[in-house]
Structure 1
Protein backbone atom coordinates (compact mmCIF):
# COMPACT_ATOMS: atom_id res chain seq x y z
CA UNK A 1 0.00 0.00 0.00
CA UNK A 2 1.26 3.36 -0.93
CA UNK A 3 -1.06 5.48 1.17
CA UNK A 4 -1.63 5.02 4.86
CA UNK A 5 -5.20 5.02 6.13
CA UNK A 6 -6.50 8.41 7.36
CA UNK A 7 -8.09 8.56 10.76
CA UNK A 8 -10.50 11.23 11.95
CA UNK A 9 -9.10 13.41 14.66
CA UNK A 10 -11.04 14.46 17.69
CA UNK A 11 -12.26 18.07 17.80
CA UNK A 12 -9.44 20.05 19.30
CA UNK A 13 -11.10 23.42 20.02
CA UNK A 14 -14.15 24.56 21.88
CA UNK A 15 -17.35 25.45 20.03
CA UNK A 16 -17.37 28.89 18.40
CA UNK A 17 -19.13 31.73 20.18
CA UNK A 18 -22.70 32.09 18.79
CA UNK A 19 -22.37 35.90 18.76
CA UNK A 20 -19.32 35.63 16.52
CA UNK A 21 -21.28 33.44 14.11
CA UNK A 22 -24.03 36.06 13.74
CA UNK A 23 -21.69 39.06 13.70
CA UNK A 24 -21.44 39.21 9.87
CA UNK A 25 -25.24 39.19 9.56
CA UNK A 26 -25.58 41.90 12.18
CA UNK A 27 -22.96 44.03 10.42
CA UNK A 28 -24.72 43.60 7.07
CA UNK A 29 -28.03 44.72 8.60
CA UNK A 30 -26.41 47.78 10.20
CA UNK A 31 -24.77 48.77 6.93
CA UNK A 32 -28.06 48.28 5.03
CA UNK A 33 -29.86 50.42 7.61
CA UNK A 34 -27.47 53.36 7.28
CA UNK A 35 -27.07 53.14 3.49
CA UNK A 36 -30.62 52.30 2.39
CA UNK A 37 -33.35 52.41 5.01
CA UNK A 38 -32.50 55.59 6.91
CA UNK A 39 -32.03 57.85 3.84
CA UNK A 40 -35.29 56.55 2.36
CA UNK A 41 -37.19 57.30 5.59
CA UNK A 42 -35.73 60.81 5.61
CA UNK A 43 -36.77 61.36 2.00
CA UNK A 44 -40.32 60.16 2.72
CA UNK A 45 -40.61 62.55 5.69
CA UNK A 46 -39.42 65.49 3.58
CA UNK A 47 -41.89 64.62 0.81
CA UNK A 48 -44.74 64.32 3.33
CA UNK A 49 -43.86 67.73 4.82
CA UNK A 50 -43.78 69.24 1.32
CA UNK A 51 -47.21 67.80 0.50
CA UNK A 52 -48.72 69.00 3.77
CA UNK A 53 -47.39 72.54 3.15
CA UNK A 54 -49.04 72.94 -0.29
CA UNK A 55 -51.50 75.82 -0.43
CA UNK A 56 -53.41 77.88 -2.95
CA UNK A 57 -51.24 79.62 -5.52
CA UNK A 58 -48.33 77.15 -5.41
CA UNK A 59 -46.98 75.83 -8.70
CA UNK A 60 -46.71 72.05 -8.53
CA UNK A 61 -45.60 69.07 -10.63
CA UNK A 62 -47.61 65.85 -10.47
CA UNK A 63 -46.14 62.36 -10.74
CA UNK A 64 -47.41 62.27 -14.33
CA UNK A 65 -45.35 65.35 -15.18
CA UNK A 66 -48.23 67.83 -15.34
CA UNK A 67 -47.28 71.33 -14.19
CA UNK A 68 -50.00 73.56 -12.86
CA UNK A 69 -51.07 76.10 -10.26
CA UNK A 70 -53.08 75.06 -7.20
CA UNK A 71 -56.50 76.75 -7.11
CA UNK A 72 -58.08 74.93 -4.21
CA UNK A 73 -56.94 72.61 -1.43
CA UNK A 74 -59.73 70.43 -0.09
CA UNK A 75 -59.76 68.69 3.28
CA UNK A 76 -60.04 65.20 1.78
CA UNK A 77 -56.58 65.38 0.18
CA UNK A 78 -57.72 66.52 -3.25
CA UNK A 79 -56.25 69.55 -5.04
CA UNK A 80 -57.80 71.50 -7.90
CA UNK A 81 -54.97 72.43 -10.25
CA UNK A 82 -55.18 74.75 -13.25
CA UNK A 83 -52.96 73.46 -16.04
CA UNK A 84 -54.11 75.89 -18.78
CA UNK A 85 -56.60 78.73 -19.17
CA UNK A 86 -59.97 77.27 -18.26
CA UNK A 87 -58.60 73.75 -17.75
CA UNK A 88 -58.74 72.46 -14.17
CA UNK A 89 -57.93 68.98 -12.98
CA UNK A 90 -58.34 67.32 -9.63
CA UNK A 91 -55.35 65.43 -8.27
CA UNK A 92 -54.57 63.72 -5.01
CA UNK A 93 -51.97 65.32 -2.79
CA UNK A 94 -49.94 62.11 -2.75
CA UNK A 95 -49.34 62.29 -6.49
CA UNK A 96 -47.36 65.53 -6.24
CA UNK A 97 -43.71 65.04 -7.00
CA UNK A 98 -42.43 68.59 -6.53
CA UNK A 99 -43.45 72.12 -5.59
CA UNK A 100 -41.80 74.53 -8.01
CA UNK A 101 -42.70 77.85 -6.44
CA UNK A 102 -44.21 78.65 -3.08
CA UNK A 103 -46.51 81.59 -2.49
CA UNK A 104 -46.36 83.80 0.53
CA UNK A 105 -49.04 83.07 3.12
CA UNK A 106 -51.99 85.43 3.09
CA UNK A 107 -51.77 88.18 5.69
CA UNK A 108 -54.36 88.13 8.41
CA UNK A 109 -56.70 91.10 8.20
Structure 2
Protein backbone atom coordinates (compact mmCIF):
# COMPACT_ATOMS: atom_id res chain seq x y z
CA UNK A 1 0.00 0.00 0.00
CA UNK A 2 2.83 2.38 0.86
CA UNK A 3 4.52 1.72 -2.50
CA UNK A 4 1.39 2.64 -4.41
CA UNK A 5 1.06 5.90 -2.47
CA UNK A 6 4.73 6.69 -3.13
CA UNK A 7 4.44 6.18 -6.90
CA UNK A 8 1.12 8.05 -7.12
CA UNK A 9 2.67 10.98 -5.28
CA UNK A 10 5.70 11.01 -7.60
CA UNK A 11 3.48 10.96 -10.69
CA UNK A 12 1.44 13.87 -9.35
CA UNK A 13 4.59 15.89 -8.57
CA UNK A 14 5.95 15.27 -12.09
CA UNK A 15 2.67 16.39 -13.66
CA UNK A 16 2.63 19.56 -11.54
CA UNK A 17 6.24 20.33 -12.46
CA UNK A 18 5.46 19.85 -16.16
CA UNK A 19 2.59 22.36 -15.85
CA UNK A 20 4.84 24.87 -14.08
CA UNK A 21 7.54 24.42 -16.75
CA UNK A 22 4.96 25.00 -19.50
CA UNK A 23 3.65 28.19 -17.90
CA UNK A 24 7.18 29.54 -17.36
CA UNK A 25 8.17 28.83 -20.98
CA UNK A 26 5.20 30.53 -22.67
CA UNK A 27 5.95 33.61 -24.78
CA UNK A 28 3.83 36.06 -26.78
CA UNK A 29 3.04 34.52 -30.15
CA UNK A 30 2.73 30.95 -28.82
CA UNK A 31 -0.47 29.10 -29.75
CA UNK A 32 -2.14 27.32 -26.80
CA UNK A 33 -5.14 25.22 -25.77
CA UNK A 34 -7.05 26.14 -22.62
CA UNK A 35 -8.54 23.57 -20.27
CA UNK A 36 -11.95 24.40 -21.79
CA UNK A 37 -10.70 23.53 -25.29
CA UNK A 38 -10.24 27.04 -26.68
CA UNK A 39 -7.36 27.60 -29.12
CA UNK A 40 -5.72 31.03 -28.91
CA UNK A 41 -2.51 33.01 -29.36
CA UNK A 42 -0.61 34.37 -26.35
CA UNK A 43 -0.45 38.18 -26.42
CA UNK A 44 0.88 39.08 -22.95
CA UNK A 45 1.82 37.31 -19.71
CA UNK A 46 1.91 38.44 -16.06
CA UNK A 47 2.68 36.44 -12.92
CA UNK A 48 -0.84 35.01 -12.60
CA UNK A 49 -2.67 35.85 -15.84
CA UNK A 50 -2.25 35.48 -19.57
CA UNK A 51 -3.88 37.53 -22.34
CA UNK A 52 -5.07 35.42 -25.27
CA UNK A 53 -6.15 36.58 -28.71
CA UNK A 54 -9.10 34.35 -29.62
CA UNK A 55 -9.98 36.15 -32.88
CA UNK A 56 -8.32 39.01 -34.76
CA UNK A 57 -8.42 41.99 -32.39
CA UNK A 58 -10.27 40.09 -29.63
CA UNK A 59 -8.11 39.65 -26.52
CA UNK A 60 -9.31 37.97 -23.32
CA UNK A 61 -7.55 37.59 -19.96
CA UNK A 62 -7.23 34.13 -18.40
CA UNK A 63 -5.63 32.63 -15.32
CA UNK A 64 -2.37 30.88 -16.23
CA UNK A 65 -3.75 27.69 -14.71
CA UNK A 66 -6.31 27.58 -17.55
CA UNK A 67 -3.56 26.83 -20.10
CA UNK A 68 -3.48 23.09 -20.84
CA UNK A 69 -0.77 22.85 -23.50
CA UNK A 70 1.10 24.55 -26.30
CA UNK A 71 0.01 23.92 -29.89
CA UNK A 72 3.08 22.85 -31.81
CA UNK A 73 3.57 24.25 -35.33
CA UNK A 74 3.08 20.83 -36.95
CA UNK A 75 -0.25 20.43 -35.07
CA UNK A 76 -1.35 23.84 -36.36
CA UNK A 77 -0.54 22.85 -39.96
CA UNK A 78 -2.60 19.65 -39.64
CA UNK A 79 -5.63 21.66 -38.53
CA UNK A 80 -5.22 24.24 -41.29
CA UNK A 81 -5.49 21.55 -43.97
CA UNK A 82 -8.58 19.88 -42.51
CA UNK A 83 -11.72 19.95 -44.65
CA UNK A 84 -14.87 20.29 -42.56
CA UNK A 85 -17.24 20.69 -45.51
CA UNK A 86 -18.71 17.21 -44.99
CA UNK A 87 -19.49 18.02 -41.35
CA UNK A 88 -21.67 21.04 -42.14
CA UNK A 89 -25.37 20.43 -42.70
CA UNK A 90 -26.94 22.25 -45.63
CA UNK A 91 -29.49 24.92 -44.77
CA UNK A 92 -32.22 25.99 -47.18
CA UNK A 93 -33.89 29.24 -46.08
CA UNK A 94 -36.81 28.78 -48.46
CA UNK A 95 -38.02 25.50 -46.98
CA UNK A 96 -39.61 25.00 -43.61
CA UNK A 97 -39.44 21.46 -42.20
CA UNK A 98 -42.82 19.80 -41.71
CA UNK A 99 -43.66 18.33 -38.34
CA UNK A 100 -44.71 14.70 -38.52
| Superposition TM-score tier, normalisation by shorter sequence | 0.5 to 0.7
- Deviation, structure 1 residue 29: 1.1
Which deviations, in whole Å up to 9, do the C-alpha atoms of 1:6-63 show, x marking residues without a partner?
xxxxxxxxxxxxxxxxxxxxxx1123212x1111111111111111111111001111
Unaligned runs of 5+ in 1: 1-27, 103-109
Q: Distance in 2 between matches of 1:58 and 1:64?
A: 18
Q: Is residue 2:64 matched to residue 1:87?
A: no
Tell me which stretches of 4 or more aligned residues in structure 1 moved more than 4 Å.
none
Aligned equivalent of 2:25? 53
Q: Distance in 2 between matches of 1:58 and 1:101?
A: 9
Larger Rg: 1
Aligned equivalent of 1:101? 72
Aligned equivalent of 2:90? none
Q: Distance in 1 between matches of 2:4 and 2:43?
A: 45
Q: Distance in 2 between matches of 1:45 and 1:51?
A: 10
- Deviation, structure 1 residue 95: 1.0
Q: Is residue 2:39 matched to residue 1:67?
A: yes
Q: How many residues align?
A: 73
**TM-score, with length taken from structure 2:** 0.66
